């Protein structure tokens, strides 16, 4: 049976309450999933079929709501959203569940957080999958100021910027804490350096939609990783790539190739 909504549990990391789900066979190799900006574990991974796909392939899936998102703690101070601090929630979750190593996959902002997790504790990361973020990892992904402004605007009717309106509409639809999201977007965009990437020697897959105008080049990022490869999610933009069936198939094959 396909999964609709899964129960969430909670734990605390340095005073931050973090919601997470833990699904699938307990003896399956764990996959840690880190969602993108303004999303949640359910929106990014459950509703797109990822949790179901990975469970059916025999994997245990761990996915958290990043701080500022979903059921996790909402801070309004940007200082709480430095990527190192956000990545520490995922590291603390692995420790909380006594998981010594895992495949780690993030999408968009989650891909950046996955990189910071791997930089902090490479021994815990069997493989990396960077979804929805290519060379933007090191070069940036444009000006997100209009999106922060849109989130803080009194009404969506006051927002003229196209991307800003899209994110504002999504935040309103999901009943998100828009002040927390604006603080997050202000502080969480620290770039990963080429030297930091060069130290990530675990197998890595970079998957970006061929019509993604945000992520940057998958091929360029893959070349900067010691053991990286690129996967083109054909015909998909940034929003639609995440649930693509060819992307799922490529990741499952990648995990089989690097079975533990």
C-alpha 161 chain-centroid distance: 24
Averaged pLDDT for residues 43-62: 97
The CATH number corresponding to 9-140+190-257 among 3.40.50.1820, 3.30.300.30, 3.40.190.10, 3.40.640.10 equals 3.40.50.1820
Name the β-bridge partners of 33. Answer: 63, 105
Walk across the sheet containing 228-233 and list its strands.
9-13, 16-23, 60-64, 30-34, 102-107, 125-131, 204-209, 228-233
Domain ranges within the chain, ordered by starting residue = 9-140+190-257
**Chain segment 169-189, per-residue pLDDT in tens:** 989 988 899 999 999 998 877
**Chain segment 20-34, per-residue pLDDT in tens:** 999 999 999 999 999
DSSP string, 170-198: HHHHTT--HHHHHHHHHHS-PPPPHHHHH
Single pTM value for the model? 0.96
């Amino acid at each position: 049976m396909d999964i609709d909504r899964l129960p969430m549990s909670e734990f605390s990391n340095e005073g931050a309450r973090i919601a997470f789900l833990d699904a699938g066979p307990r003896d399956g190799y764990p996959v840690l999933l880190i969602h993108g900006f303004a999303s949640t574990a359910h929106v990014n991974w459950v509703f797109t079929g990822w949790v179901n796909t990975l469970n059916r392939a025999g994997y245990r899936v761990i996915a958290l709501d990043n701080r500022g998102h979903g059921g996790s703690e909402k801070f309004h101070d940007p200082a709480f959203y430095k990527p190192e601090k956000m990545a520490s929630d995922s590291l603390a979750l692995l420790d909380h569940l006594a998981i010594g190593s895992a495949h780690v996959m993030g999408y968009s902002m989650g891909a950046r957080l996955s990189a910071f997790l791997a930089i902090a504790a490479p021994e815990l990361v069997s493989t990396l999958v960077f979804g929805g973020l290519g060379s933007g990892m090191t070069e940036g992904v444009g000006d997100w100021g209009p999106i922060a402004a849109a989130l803080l605007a009194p009404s969506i009717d006051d927002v003229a910027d196209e991307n800003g309106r899209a994110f504002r509409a999504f935040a309103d639809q999901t009943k998100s804490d828009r002040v927390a999201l604006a603080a997050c977007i202000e502080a969480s965009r620290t770039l990963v350096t080429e030297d930091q990437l060069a130290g990530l020697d675990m197998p890595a897959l970079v998957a970006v939609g061929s019509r993604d105008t945000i992520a940057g080049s998958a091929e360029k990022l893959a070349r900067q990783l010691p053991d990286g490869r690129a996967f083109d999610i054909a015909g998909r933009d940034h929003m639609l790539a995440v649930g693509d069936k060819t992307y799922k198939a490529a990741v499952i094959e990648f995990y089989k190739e690097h079975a533990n």
